[in-house]
Amino acid sequence: MHLVHATSVEIDGHAVLIRGPSGCGKSDLALRLMDQGAQLVADDQSGLSAENGRLFVSCPPSIAGMIEVRGLGILRLPHRDRVPLALVVDLVAAKDVERLPEPSRTAFLGIQVPRVALCAFESSTPAKVRLAVSVATRDSTVL
């Protein structure tokens, strides 16, 4: 298992890997996505594995089902395991989010994955993540 400093959730059977430095809002965005029906995969450390040209996200057993919720502490929640990775979200400052970005990809274990850069704390970010998953998994294009 290849570990990355990232939080991950499952949306409609697809994993979203949320990356960024400590304190940038990874767990906060995951919590807002879970409030809208997503399931926790892993908080803070996500494990990646490759099989037949696809990437899968899992949680290290020592932190399975646990998420840090600022102001409440570490909570245990239902979680999913071994979910196919569909999208990487890199968290950036609001001023660094491009209005009309070119399609972007990143690679893990030699496998390319769609990538977007978003600000965690904008109210529309959960909706943007869901739209990006839809585009990534339906091979659609954004006009």
C-alpha 129/C-alpha 26 separation (Å) is 13
95 tagged catalytic: no
Instruction: Write down the catalytic residue from 44, 81, 90, 128.
Output: 44
99 tagged catalytic: yes
Pairing of strands 66-69, 14-19: unpaired
Contact 19, 87 (CB under 8 A): no
Q: Residue 68 is encoded by which pair of tokens?
A: 């840090």
Instruction: Write down the catalytic residue from 35, 95, 99, 139.
Output: 99
Instruction: Write down the catalytic residue from 26, 32, 80, 130.
Output: 26
Q: Residue 43 is encoded by which pair of tokens?
A: 């908080």
C-alpha 88/C-alpha 78 separation (Å) is 22
105 tagged catalytic: no
User: CB within 8 A of 114, min separation 6: which ones?
Assistant: 86, 87, 88, 103, 104, 105, 132, 135, 136
Instruction: Write down the catalytic residue from 5, 54, 82, 105.
Output: 5
Catalytic (active-site) positions: 5, 26, 44, 99
